[in-house]
Amino acid sequence: MTFLEHEILTYQKLKELSFFTKEEISYIESNFNLERIATTTFYLQLAANSAKSRKSISTNTPKENSSKSSSAENPLRRQFVPSVQELKILDYEKTDPLCDKKFSISDRIIHRYRDRVLFIATGQCALYCRHCFRRYLDKTQVKAPTKAEIKTLTDYLKANKNIREVLISGGDPLVLDNSLLEYLCKSIREVSKNIVIRIGTRVPVVLPSRIDSALVNNLQKYRPLYIFTQFNHSDEVAEQNSEAIDLLVKSGIPVFNQTVLLRGINNLKDQLKELFYKLVSISVKPYYFFQGDIAAGTSHFRTNLMQGIEIMEELKTEMSSLSLPLLAVDLPDGGGKIMLDRNSIVKRENGFYYLKNSEGKVFKYPDENQE
């Protein structure tokens, strides 16, 4: 058994551990892709610690007890356990909300922005987030890349000199083995010494033991290389995560964070403030704070657009720019990413916000009435 097979808990393993309730097993097995359900032993422990601390908080504040002690409402557990709420698909929700297919050059290459290209390294993740906007991927559909597929990427980079950044994402690239990951980074670096390599990964959050000296020694040879991770809750920042970040940063690999605004998980100003402060204290720069995408079956996670704007307005009066991320939204229908504040809203009408992208085109984002 490999290290990853040992550490990653698939649906079957979780079931054997009696992790799910009978009710969960019943609706999960009849409705969900079991290949896209997994977590790690480490994240399970983080979730258990989160539940304990919540319980002690709620013992001190009896009024909050009923809502916060339930395991179903544990903010970490909710990120990887399917919910029946995912079965509600709204008219405007999409399986491909960022229009990856529209901008695809090949199965693995997506070219949306002039100077950046995305390479899908794998469909596998250590933990599958229930809010993920690439919910159509799993390891059976997109396996590790072949050398021929990596050559397609490097040929594309050679033919498109305006590309300055390659985002390696997926799926989670850090589930690939070290030799393949090194081959991929080395191949990109051989095209140009200036191209920036960005790796999008939740491994520093959910499986920090994967960030060891062998991996870091491999990656640091191909700088400029940046890690973009996704801490969503302050209970995800523990000693082991901090040690993993330390290894990266000491090797000259900067780490940035992209938090997703998730209803019932982190949509409280003080929770986000604690998270962002914790991140800078372990040398992670809070970079983006994303409004939820219009991915099918994720409306229970989305907040109304105004909530993120209002939270950021308050945080701006209380925190330094170092600790504050940029609030952003990926516009539906391939509109691209925009920074979000009150001025981004052209109008609010008939159940939608109208938002302008950098090209001056207007896109609709739902005006949902969440509590």
Residues forming the active site: 112-113, 116, 125, 129, 132, 134, 293, 330, 337
Taking the complex as a whole, the smallest distance from the CB of residue 367 to ligand SF4 amounts, in Å, to 25
CB-CB contact of 364 with 332 (8 Å): yes
Strand partners, 110: 104, 118
Taking the complex as a whole, the smallest distance from the CB of residue 260 to ligand SF4 amounts, in Å, to 8
- Residue with the shortest CB distance to ligand SF4: 132
Distance CA 275, CA 35 (A): 30
Indicate the angle between helix axes 178-191 and 147-159, nearest 10 degrees.
20
14 vs 129, which CB is nearer to ligand SF4? Answer: 129
Distance CA 161, CA 191 (A): 10
Indicate the angle between helix axes 213-220 and 239-250, nearest 10 degrees.
30
End-to-end Cα separation, the chain, in angstroms: 46
Phi, psi of 354 (to 5 degrees): -110, 125
Taking the complex as a whole, the smallest distance from the CB of residue 166 to ligand SF4 amounts, in Å, to 17
CB-CB contact of 200 with 168 (8 Å): yes
Distance CA 147, CA 119 (A): 13
Taking the complex as a whole, the smallest distance from the CB of residue 73 to ligand SF4 amounts, in Å, to 20
Taking the complex as a whole, the smallest distance from the CB of residue 210 to ligand SF4 amounts, in Å, to 13
The verdict on whether omega for the bond into residue 171 sits within 30 degrees of 0, i.e. cis, is yes
Distance CA 38, CA 313 (A): 36
Selection from 180, 257, 174, 173 nearest residue 208 by Cα: 174
Tokens of 138: 């799993």
> Please, where are the H alpha helices in the chain?
3-7, 11-16, 22-31, 41-60, 65-68, 147-159, 178-191, 203-206, 213-220, 239-250, 269-281, 305-318
Distance CA 340, CA 329 (A): 7
134 vs 233, which CB is nearer to ligand SF4? Answer: 134
Residue ranges that bind ligand SF4, judged by CB under 6 A: 125, 128-129, 132, 134, 170-172, 202
> If you write DSSP's letter for every residue of 136-150 in order, what string do you get?
T--TTTS-SPPHHHH
Indicate the angle between helix axes 213-220 and 178-191, nearest 10 degrees.
10
